[in-house]
Structure 1
Amino acid sequence: MPADRPFDPALPIDLHTHSWASDGTESPAEVVRQAARAGLGTLALTDHDTAAGWGEAAAEARTLGLAFVPGIEFSSQLAYASVHVLGYLVDPDEPALRAETDAVRTSRVTRAERMVERIGADYDLTWRDVLDATDEGATVGRPHIADALVRKGIVADRDEAFRTVLHWRGGYYQPHHAPDPERVVRLIRGAGGVPVLAHPATRGRAVMAGERIAALVDAGLLGLEIGHRENDEQGRATLRHYARRYDLIVTGSSDYHGSGKPNRLGEHTTSPEMLDRIIAAGTGSDVVPATSTS
């Protein structure tokens, strides 16, 4: 590994994964172990609106010799669309950022309680069932309601839960607090982080209009996650155009959730040169460097 890099550029880099600190199905340490088994050399843990898994993941990465990039996936809202922004190398305790993530997590819980109350009027589901399906320390959200629905035999799996009972047209959906994406980008930059727009062409949905991308760049956006299974090829081509136009960092990632989604570690990766740019721009926290395990 070159002395001037904290990671091995010869090994794959995956910068978008989730543990049970948010909506993944594995512990932060297990996510790192799975990354090692998949042959990755660098991994970012990017749980939703929390840095709670960083310490455990970093410790396991040191043990196994992987480089670890601290990250968070922030929730935001644009009209009726949910927009996610990845923040790498933030200071999670920066006051403005901490206040916003606390507000989002609190809103997720109260929203989940309202949804379960409504679902429980038609199905055999209680708040206790949901808590029993939620790992200790995780913020309760729709994935945990989905897991409770699976445990109760109401649906077969998470996918069915989100297609039916938890779909926004299902009659039980409730909104939660989420700032606009420009505010999220500013918060990330204010906390020393590197904001990257997550899977901006999700499920074939039209890529954000050019003027919106321009507004996000003006707010401090530094990158686009283009390599992602939910970005279709036409969307990727449009995103590459914006990346060239604004000289943005381009990432590729798995968005791994354990058994919660079919996404596999390393199915999309980020180039060493782009990770170099993230490291150069981030000042809120540090990469845990790769170490030799031999």
Structure 2
Amino acid sequence: MVYADLHTHSTASDGHLAPRDLVHEAKTIGLGVLALTDHDTVAGIAEAQSAASEAELGFVPGVECTVHYNGHGIHLLGYGFDPSDEALTRHFDRYATARIERAQAIVEKLQSACGIAITWEDVQHQVPKGDGVVARPHIAAALQEIGAIESVGDAFDTYLGDDKPAYVPLPEVEAAWMIDQIHEAGGITAIAHPGHWLPGRILRGLIEAGLDALECVHPSHDASLEAYYRNRARANDLLVTGGSDFHGPLHATARGVGHTGLSRRAWERIAAACT
């Protein structure tokens, strides 16, 4: 039985539920612990933490950071850090601005290179309250709403994917630097969904940089891949994390909060490392 879901997203980034509603959903299904891990922002943590306290649900401040190692993009999860840490707050504020600039550049490419009549206002309409982190899924949703594509998946396959005509990269943040920042803020770090792409040499370099854990349990990992990464974690003295990567009921690969995650015993190992 899943006790802790340590990978979820809210409207503070590209999720479909407000932080408070996400906590309510987790409580309703009987989860013991929830981590909010929005992309490159801690903006939803205060609301989620308050709601979790009211609901008597265990809560872990988290984040999913976009980082690079030797030029290769990786998603780094942070857990148990101080969300008010000044250095982290400055970084996320700067990165939010960079995401807006990137999204505007993508819109310009969609207009000029792809001949699509999309506007920046179309994208802003997809960002809840207009104050969340702007991400490619928001642009994909805008493309779907104006009828340029049939689904969000089509948007990535045709225009927004890493090798597609409207792609614009985000600024590169060094993984080792981000690991240090999260450690200095009192947290631990894990590689998100390593089965997506994690060569051995990259893992070794990240371990040398201070990596604490691997997200072995993820909806995209089948049983054999989960076992493989559990073995890698064990061999390298890394903790095991896991979660649903929940974005909401409207997400292309939607699965519920708590669909995937950790047992209580596995969570207790993470909790001990976060204290």
TM-score by length of 2: 0.91
Q: 2:97 aligns with which of 106, 110, 113?
A: 106
State the shift of 1:96 in Å.
3.0
Q: Which residue in 2 is equivalent to 1:135?
A: 128
Q: Does 1:174 align with 2:164?
A: no
Q: Which residue in 1 is equivalent to 2:82?
A: 91
CA distance in 1, matches of 2:2, 2:144: 37
Structure 2 gaps of 5+ residues are none
The structure carrying a bigger helix percent of its residues is 2
Equivalent residues of 1:104, 1:178 under 8 A apart: no
Q: 1:235 is aligned with what amino acid?
A: L
CA distance in 2, matches of 1:153, 1:160: 12
CA distance in 2, matches of 1:94, 1:59: 18
Change (3 A) 1:178 1:194: same
* Matched length: 270
Q: Which residue in 1 is equivalent to 2:9?
A: 18
Equivalent residues of 1:103, 1:177 under 8 A apart: no
Q: Does 1:281 align with 2:273?
A: yes
Spell out the pairing of 1:209-228 with structure 2 (5 A cutoff).
Answer: 209=200, 211-228=201-218
Change (3 A) 1:188 1:147: same
State the shift of 1:11 in Å.
6.5
Deviations 1:113-137, CA, capped at 9 Å, x for gaps: 0000111231110001111111122
Q: 2:109 is aligned with what amino acid?
A: R
CA distance in 1, matches of 2:219, 2:71: 22
Q: Which residue in 2 is equivalent to 1:264?
A: 256
Q: 1:125 aligns with which of 118, 123, 146?
A: 118
CA distance in 1, matches of 2:222, 2:175: 22
Deviations 1:53-102, CA, capped at 9 Å, x for gaps: 11211222223331111111111123564211110111233333233322
CA distance in 1, matches of 2:238, 2:187: 15
Q: Which residue in 2 is equivalent to 1:197?
A: 191
State the shift of 1:30 in Å.
1.2
- Percent identity reads 39
Q: Does 1:32 align with 2:23?
A: yes
Change (3 A) 1:36 1:156: farther
Equivalent residues of 1:11, 1:42 under 8 A apart: no
CA distance in 2, matches of 1:158, 1:118: 18
